[in-house]
Structure 1
């Protein structure tokens, strides 16, 4: 009799049996298991289609001495995606879950594998598992058998698969699982295991409540471990450490506390290690952490005093767009509301030259946008003739004018405000670039745009008002027939906009 015939006979014998007699079931289970372990073609599908799944469910429900072997059969069957739904329909998941409370490690391993494979791609079943209280059991198993590598691995895989669900994150937070995970991380045998653990920890960091519990005011073991990851030589740990700091830095009090605890030098050292031929993901995550830490105004001042901007400027030589993008955003955050920082960066010819290159990045719109936004920020926050002159000399004015026509209202406003400040404090430096880039026709079109945002029109009026204070530009405003556009705006439904237009119109009429 061939192996295929043996399997068919075994399935037939089980399917016609009216009573579940363990001694009779045992050899048939052996036959099924042999076929599955030997990877016989379509064995799993044949078993699932034979109608014996309810019998297997009954064997598991009765918690007989065959339960462990039945769980192994189900686990091996469930490697095949095609049989997972039939397993669910036969109620196998429901009868397997109680076996996670077994004190038999082999039973736990087989049960964990069976449940994990059946529910791998079923969000409904995963939700049912969480509702049935499987998370505390998985954590308890890891705690009880920390050195059983296969069993720990199965539990970690299951937690990783569930951890993206809000309900699972809540359950994990209540269990203080981060400490258990960091212990497992230290004894992880390979990169794959570390990756699984770090994925779970990363998911915890995405929830405010669990993130705060992990942070523990900076005194938790988890936070101490995160600091050690930043100083590790392992790129995987460095990346996770930087991402964790960026997550912890989602609220101001955590940011201030981490600065007090001295996290910034660790991040800077990490970034410097990866400047040349380094890991892009680590640089990106490190800059994200710095940017978040710099959001509170008090932190900006302290970070500037500690020379953060000088040290991260070493990343200017990076040729990786994700790093360029994040560096520009971090520098922009550092100068926000900080006159001295904006002045220092705005005078830096090397920085400006690099920013100009990025303003023209052909293949990365994000880098182009962030480069222009940094230019605007340098002018807006320094309000310095030196910076305006330096930006104009570096040929940056045309990029600001281009930014003023962006599809993003926030960028349009930033550009228009920067141009208004520039023209108010150093019109001589910017008048020629204004002409070359045809600024006035652009402003006229902006005012006349029937679907243009009110706030953009208001910022455009602010720039026109600034230009009207210059005799040279005033004449050009007349030549462009700007009064016609302003007159139309005096009837605008926004009283604030209409009033501003009337005021500028009066200024132009007084000198016509």
Structure 2
């Protein structure tokens, strides 16, 4: 056992050495190494401040019997953060990097550890390492020493520390890193190794080029296989691996080409595994499964295929499991998947026939704004262009009552906006007197009028179209609600606004045309002196607006 006095003597002897010969230096290096391996407090700092670092640097410049030992001394010394800058200043990194080209596995291990520790959390040094070309060499070392776990671990840790740099990702494009990482992932049996590989894959996967390489090299399949092997256990490390791996698969699906390869027309291993996740008892897998389905459902052909393969019942069952005190993220993701699946018109019809709207109505009792927001958006997508569905939902008193509540959700603008848009959609797509009557009875007209004054043009137009349809179909039952909600004064105020959009003015005039068919509404227009507003609009720079204003003026001039 070496003590600190022995260390001091060894440092003194090394510092006065005139020749870097093995017989002279080795005993003293043995002492340094013994003290460092015993983790004597302050040993690394004493070595760094003794003045021998330039001697160690000089020793490493030429391959000698001392090379391995010096590299190990530097690696052990660099465990201490305080000595890393002195190591850099002494030029140790510069002489260590060429040693990565050695075929000596022991030297590679010591060198890799030394460089990794010295450059840890040092962006400038890490950038220099990449510029020096260490990235291709790290990959080559892993490929050439596939089963040397300690050495591979050093290379993986180095990649992990460098993976966030764009220059690293660029350097990895042409060196086959995907195949190497896939091979290591399949060999990884302990959680620590798995997590390092997963972290590297996650960072590098932010590059679209590498993401596609990962998919082509079978990374998603390897991740799926790993998850299958870990499922059912309760070990926290394994559960953590499942979480990271499933999240990683979801992120790999964000690329269109990589997503399509994983889907494989519904026969891909990854897609089939994702389906099983929806039925898992593991909440994390349920979440990743729903997110993955939402990603697969980014184009119509995939949506149609997934519906044929029966994905919807699995999503609905999952949603129902989480209705009461369930996981909000799972519900949110599940509804996102359903919404995407409902985009193709043919899917809407099929989903309606399968009773989807009835089953997702169970989520109406949710008190979670993110779930409410997604539910409203999903229902709106379901009724888009579907007259029958809009008519059924538009007469549902329970649904309408909930929509009215959400139209007043002051703490969540997104929920409020989606509730208003669904309300307008029920009228626009059903065009049914019964729906108009139900909406009026539920006090929905005032919300549509408020929506018409929204700062969002699309919401303005949707509200105005819904109001125009409602007034054209059943003006008699709407009149009282229009008056109570002060529809005409609101429209007049917005028509008088000089900065109002052309689109709004045109749609508003269209609504007024519908209202003018009612003698009582026409009387209110006259009492508001709406003609003055219309006369101004007759000279509007937009021909459409001017023509529409003239049409309304002509209607108001007719004898009631």
- TM-score for both structures, normalised by structure 2: 0.86
Q: Deviations over 1:351-394 (max 9, x none)?
A: 11111111111111000000011110111111122211211221
Kindly report which structure 2 residues correspond to 1:357-436, keeping only aligned pairs within 5 A, or say none. Answer: 357-436=405-484
Consecutive unaligned residues in structure 2, runs of 5 or more? 1-7, 9-41, 231-236
1:285 pairs, out of 330, 333, 340, with 333
Aligned-partner Cα distance in 2 for 1:320–1:481: 46
Q: How much does 1:87 deviate?
A: 4.1
Aligned-partner Cα distance in 1 for 2:330–2:535: 55
Aligned-partner Cα distance in 1 for 2:183–2:58: 40
Whether contact under 8 Å (2:342, 2:348) holds in the other structure is yes
Aligned-partner Cα distance in 2 for 1:148–1:77: 26
Whether contact under 8 Å (1:346, 1:390) holds in the other structure is yes
Aligned-partner Cα distance in 2 for 1:168–1:310: 43
Which protein is bigger by CA-based radius of gyration? 2
Whether contact under 8 Å (1:60, 1:71) holds in the other structure is yes
Cα–Cα, structure 1 residues 205 and 497, in superposed 2: closer, same or farther, change >3 Å?
same
Cα–Cα, structure 1 residues 5 and 91, in superposed 2: closer, same or farther, change >3 Å?
farther
Look up the SS of the partner of 1:155 in the other structure: helix
Q: How many residues align?
A: 508
Q: How much does 1:88 deviate?
A: 4.1
Aligned-partner Cα distance in 2 for 1:363–1:81: 45
Query: Which residue matches 1:106?
Result: 150
Whether contact under 8 Å (1:217, 1:254) holds in the other structure is yes
Cα–Cα, structure 1 residues 262 and 18, in superposed 2: closer, same or farther, change >3 Å?
closer
Look up the SS of the partner of 1:363 in the other structure: coil
Q: Deviations over 1:64-83 (max 9, x none)?
A: 34112211222333443465
Farther-moved stretch of structure 1 (237-246 vs 295-304)? 295-304
Q: Deviations over 1:478-502 (max 9, x none)?
A: 1112222222222223322222222
Q: How much does 1:115 deviate?
A: 2.2
Query: Which residue matches 2:76?
Result: 34
Farther-moved stretch of structure 1 (376-385 vs 441-450)? 441-450
Aligned-partner Cα distance in 2 for 1:243–1:105: 34
Query: Which residue matches 1:74?
Result: 115
Q: Deviations over 1:293-332 (max 9, x none)?
A: 1111111111111111111111111111100000000011
2:316 pairs, out of 268, 286, 300, with 268
Query: Which residue matches 1:460?
Result: 508
Q: How much does 1:47 deviate?
A: 2.4
Aligned-partner Cα distance in 1 for 2:121–2:188: 29
**Residue 142 of structure 2 is aligned to residue 142 of structure 1:** no
Kindly report which structure 2 residues correspond to 1:270-349, keeping only aligned pairs within 5 A, or say none. Answer: 270-349=318-397
Cα–Cα, structure 1 residues 468 and 19, in superposed 2: closer, same or farther, change >3 Å?
closer
What RMSD over aligned residues (CA atoms) do the two structures have, in Å? 2.1
Q: How much does 1:7 deviate?
A: 4.3
Farther-moved stretch of structure 1 (225-234 vs 207-216)? 207-216
Q: How much does 1:116 deviate?
A: 1.7
Whether contact under 8 Å (2:191, 2:238) holds in the other structure is no
Look up the SS of the partner of 1:190 in the other structure: helix
Whether contact under 8 Å (1:173, 1:209) holds in the other structure is no
Whether contact under 8 Å (2:384, 2:429) holds in the other structure is yes
Whether contact under 8 Å (1:20, 1:59) holds in the other structure is no
Aligned-partner Cα distance in 2 for 1:245–1:405: 37
Whether contact under 8 Å (2:78, 2:84) holds in the other structure is yes
Aligned-partner Cα distance in 2 for 1:15–1:74: 13
Aligned-partner Cα distance in 2 for 1:19–1:281: 56
Whether contact under 8 Å (1:7, 1:31) holds in the other structure is no
Farther-moved stretch of structure 1 (191-200 vs 280-289)? 191-200
Query: Which residue matches 1:50?
Result: 90
2:259 pairs, out of 211, 225, 248, with 211
1:62 pairs, out of 99, 102, 122, with 102
Query: Which residue matches 1:157?
Result: 199
Query: Which residue matches 1:181?
Result: 223
Whether contact under 8 Å (1:6, 1:31) holds in the other structure is no
Look up the SS of the partner of 2:65 in the other structure: helix
Cα–Cα, structure 1 residues 204 and 91, in superposed 2: closer, same or farther, change >3 Å?
closer
Farther-moved stretch of structure 1 (130-139 vs 400-409)? 130-139
- TM-score for both structures, normalised by structure 1: 0.93
Whether contact under 8 Å (1:48, 1:87) holds in the other structure is no
